[in-house]
Structure 1
């Protein structure tokens, strides 16, 4: 049991380091997908208002081993197939939540571009936009991981009880 926690802590630290180094690529990829242009980002955590989102992103990666371990221990999962399904479900739900947010933001950008084409706003009014600070992709990633964890807890806990 203690060995599992030691491995989870080590893996969590490695995943946090990986998340720290890939965050800029993550943001560039999804920002390019949303607006169609590739922004030049370097050290995005230094941008105003981006320290907390950077920490949320790093935390999202670091919490993965503990989410898996909590499902495995609470639901007493022993088969390799169910363990892989747990990891896959948690990661997939995080990706789905993040992807849904990207699709929503892409739709909003398309609406804004349509407004700009039709010029339905006066010249002195504010031009609508999607702010970099309003994307919240990290929060949706973390929420998706937590929903995946909860689904695993429900699926495997229910399946461990015998039918009455």
Structure 2
């Protein structure tokens, strides 16, 4: 029972952190993708951004429960395996989010290249990817769940000698 109360407390803290760092999360990745540094303030108030904000908060909220489920289901006892499980879950989420950023950077470069070649517009008129269409929060959540599944497969197989 103590494990669950610690997980609930940690999840609550992560929810608050997620709510306050979402603007920096968007600013960092938007700057990385389009090369400009927009300032986001209260991004959750923007139209259509309530659900992405909730997905981002949920992504950080679920982290302790993903780890706890891996630890309990796979019966992880060594500190090395526990740290490896946490690292694998977080790295998987980061990789999925990073792959989305790389894809969006590629798309922005294609748009700029095509319009410059066609000479339809000056640099200021070239359209770009809107931050509403990035869906980075969804990719982060899917990556965390993929990392959780990978942990379940790796550690369950290693703890069960019959497999």
1:153 lines up with 2:152 in the alignment: yes
- Please, what TM-score do these two structures have when normalized by structure 2? 0.94
- Measured in 2, the distance between the counterparts of 1:92 and 1:143 equals 12
> Match of 1:30?
29
1:101 lines up with 2:85 in the alignment: no
- Measured in 2, the distance between the counterparts of 1:84 and 1:115 equals 46
> Match of 2:71?
72
Task: Note the residue ranges of structure 1 that are not aligned, 5 or more in a row.
Answer: none
Deviations 1:43-80 (A, max 9, x none): 00111110000000000000000000000000000000
1:10 lines up with 2:9 in the alignment: yes
CA contact (8 A) 2:96 2:143 kept: yes
CA contact (8 A) 2:11 2:60 kept: yes
CA contact (8 A) 2:15 2:58 kept: yes
Aligned length: 160
1:92 lines up with 2:61 in the alignment: no
Task: Note the residue ranges of structure 2 that are not aligned, 5 or more in a row.
Answer: none
Q: Compute the RMSD of aligned alpha carbons.
A: 1.6
What SS does the aligned partner of 1:38 have?
coil
CA contact (8 A) 2:55 2:137 kept: yes
Runs of 4 or more, structure 1, over 3 Å off, are none
1:160 CA displacement:
1.1
